[in-house]
Structure 1
Amino acid sequence: MTRSCTTTSLPQWLARLAMAAALALPAPALAQDAVLPATDKEALFTSPDPKLHRNKQAALHIVRDLLEAGHWELAETYLTERYIQHNPLVASGRARLLEAVKQWGLPIKPIPARMTSPVVAVVAEGDFVVVSFVRDMKDPRDPSRSYTTTWFDMWRFVDGRADEHWDGAEIPPMPAKAE
């Protein structure tokens, strides 16, 4: 004997009423707890496991030396040549990333003794390291207000160098045409 399962859905008018009620409620972002950085960010990039420690240290240098200070001449030390990129705004390959960085014209600064990025957490497992950051955003409903959320970068490491990268980047919308 076979049984079939049927799904009962809400009447359309009730679903619309529920949606309207949800939209009328105050936005939850206004009541959120702020995302805060860790007190000792650099300690998050350590591990008693030698492999995880090496990968976390490479992630620290990617953030501090490359992203914060702009010392992309060090990229070969921390990124493989093939560096697979899952960010839709940047092509794969270390050489192509370096071309993009050059076009962006980012400033080069002294490498700080301690990182300045607002790191929330660092998680390492196997070949992966995930770094989460505080991200301050303007409230699109009220530009005079802002809120915090979390940004992340995740790398897969091969022999202590990042070989693959993921983050939360999105393709931005096209600017509105002036009439």
Structure 2
Amino acid sequence: MTRLFKNIVLGVALALPAWPLTSLTAHAQEAVVKAADVEALFTSPDPKLHANKQVTYKIIRDLLEAGHWDKADQYLTERYIQHNPNAASGRDGVVTYFTKVLKVQPKPIPEKTSSPVVFVSAEGDLVTVGSVRQYKDPKDPLKTYTTTWYDTWRFVDGKADEHWDSALKAQ
């Protein structure tokens, strides 16, 4: 902020005594919070959207959470286009990333997902899931903050054929 702009803002604040000077300070963000009923978000009265949301749910629960990448052929097309910069495209490329690079081991598939899902949006052949992500505050490592992670899948013939997310390259 330039000195001139600061002086103008301060002058306006002083000219309006009803406007407290604290209004000039930044306020903390609102925390991103998990939905009360996550499973309900993966339903729709539209049969096609419902089917796509259900496969999305299984991708999250069975593959990403439980690590059952042996089931990937049930949920992902063979050509699965991957826009995450860390995993190769193709179902085999994604399976290799999770099983050989990250060395994810399968564990029992839970009845319900534990992912902190905030919302699920479906339109046409796309399903987008927003989830809570918590990070250390770079200005104060004793504090954390929340933000939203996004995953979007495009479906072809009942399987995810393309994926986008917010991932950055791993270091």
Residues 1:63 and 2:60 aligned together: yes
1:148 is paired with a residue whose SS is strand
1:16 Cα deviation (Å)?
4.3
- Which runs of no fewer than 5 residues in structure 2 stay unpaired? 8-23
Map Cα deviations across residues 146-176 of structure 1 (whole Å, 9 max, x no partner).
011000100000011000000001124x5xx
Amino acid at match of 1:121: F
Amino acid at match of 1:69: A
1:106 is paired with a residue whose SS is coil
**Do 2:69 and 2:99's aligned partners in 1 also have CA atoms closer than 8 Å?**
no
Aligned-partner Cα distance in 2 for 1:63–1:150:
16
Amino acid at match of 2:80: Y
Map Cα deviations across residues 101-140 of structure 1 (whole Å, 9 max, x no partner).
1221112110000100000000000000000000011101
Aligned-partner Cα distance in 2 for 1:108–1:26:
48
2:105 is paired with a residue whose SS is coil
- Identity among equivalent positions (%) equals 58
Alignment of 1:1-179 (within 5 A): 16-17=2-3, 28=27, 31-103=28-100, 104-172=102-170
When the two structures are superposed, what TM-score results if normalisation uses the length of structure 2?
0.84
Residues 144 and 126 of structure 1: CA distance in aligned 2, closer, same or farther (over 3 Å): same
Deviates more, 1:104-113 or 1:55-64: 104-113
Amino acid at match of 2:58: H
Q: Which residue of 2 aligns with 1:9?
A: none
Aligned-partner Cα distance in 1 for 2:38–2:71:
22
Structure 1 stretches of at least 4 aligned residues deviating more than 4 Å after TM superposition: 18-21, 25-28
Q: Which residue of 1 aligns with 2:12?
A: none
Aligned-partner Cα distance in 1 for 2:91–2:59:
13
Aligned-partner Cα distance in 2 for 1:170–1:19:
35
Amino acid at match of 1:113: E
- Which runs of no fewer than 5 residues in structure 1 stay unpaired? 1-14, 175-179
